Amino acid sequence: MPRISLEDTELNVLDQGHGPTVLLVHGFPVDHRMWRKQTATLSQTHRVIAPDLRGFGESPATTGVISMTQFADDLADLLEQMEVAEPIVFCGLSMGGYIAWQFAHHYPEKLRGLILCDTKATADSEAAVATRHDVAEKVIADGPEFLSKSMPSKIFSNHSRAEHPELVEFVQQMIRDASPNGIAAASWGMSLRPDMTELLPTISVATLVVVGEDDELTSPSEMQTIAESIPNGKAVVVPQAGHMAPLEQPAIVNDAIINFLQSL
């Protein structure tokens, strides 16, 4: 996979297929491989660009705090370096969705459509901020193993955990592969992210909202409210899926994405 140099770092990037560009932005604390069930299908008709964000997968980490805006700036820079001039469809899951709000806010001219999977527009509660800080400190002290153990019960549906242990193992491996500094920097960055609900009515591009019906972190009702707040927004609730809907129910999610892309 190519590595693309940015101003102060470089990103490991999957770049596959031809056609209008779809940018796939992974969640926390995994990497571009979480889209492995989307890339082959979508790249039949589109150019799929799926980077490892700073500090995840094989992209080097920067220490300190990485804000959601910094990640969005990295992606705008990445598209420039890859000479993608036309507006793109930005598809982000969870933290990838937090980054999507910043991208939509700072680079509206670069957007052709938005796909938001299992995410939210609100800021963290005080308790959530405290947890982020604990996670950041613990991952630097102990490494990511504790997260690989604690996250599956929160991010997969009961159905996926019972029927697809290989998915759980796959996500655990991605978490173990992430750099402690990268996880900590993103954790601090997420704790500082602003409430973006006021942005929603100003989004002018068509937007698809995808959420697992059993998502405990970003609930279907919260995501339906997001879709209703965006003028050209539409929600799809995915059965037998949790917070990792694209990985858990790829056929349903891919159909929803393809229908959406064809409608643009």
Give the type of residue at 226. I
Taking CB under 6 A as the rule, does residue 28 contact ligand MLT? yes
Residues near 4 by beta carbon (within 8 Å), at least 6 away in sequence: 10, 11, 13, 51, 78, 81, 82
Q: Which is nearer to ligand MLT, 44 or 158 (CB)?
A: 158
3-state secondary structure of 211: strand
CB 52, CB 75: distance < 8 Å: no
Q: How far is the CB of 166 from ligand MLT (least distance, A)?
A: 19
Q: By C-beta, is 95 or 185 nearer to ligand MLT?
A: 95
Q: Are 31 and 52 in contact (CB under 8 A)?
A: yes
Q: Is the dihedral of CA 84, 85, 88, 93 positive or negative?
A: positive
The yes or no reply on residue 27 touching ligand MLT (CB under 6 A) is: yes
Q: Token pair for residue 53? A: 């964000």
Instruction: Provide the minimum distance between the beta carbon of 211 and ligand MLT in the complex, in angstroms, as a whole number.
Output: 12
17 binds ligand MLT (CB under 6 A): no
3-state DSSP helix/strand/coil % of the chain, to nearest 5: 50, 15, 35
Q: Which is nearer to ligand MLT, 47 or 243 (CB)?
A: 243
Residue 96 C-beta: closest distance to ligand MLT, Å = 7
Closest approach, Cβ 146 to ligand MLT, in A, equals 15
In angstroms, what is the minimal distance from the CB of 44 to ligand MLT?
A: 27
**Cβ pair 158, 214 in contact under 8 A:** yes
Nearer to ligand MLT, 95 or 168 (CB): 95
H/E stretch holding 116 reads strand 111-117
Per CB under 6 A, contacts with ligand MLT among 161-220 are 190, 217
Residues 65-94 that bind ligand MLT (CB under 6 A): 94
Count the residues of the shown chain that bind ligand MLT, applying the rule CB under 6 A: 7
Judged by the rule CB under 6 A, the positions of this chain that interact with ligand MLT are 27-28, 94-95, 190, 217, 243
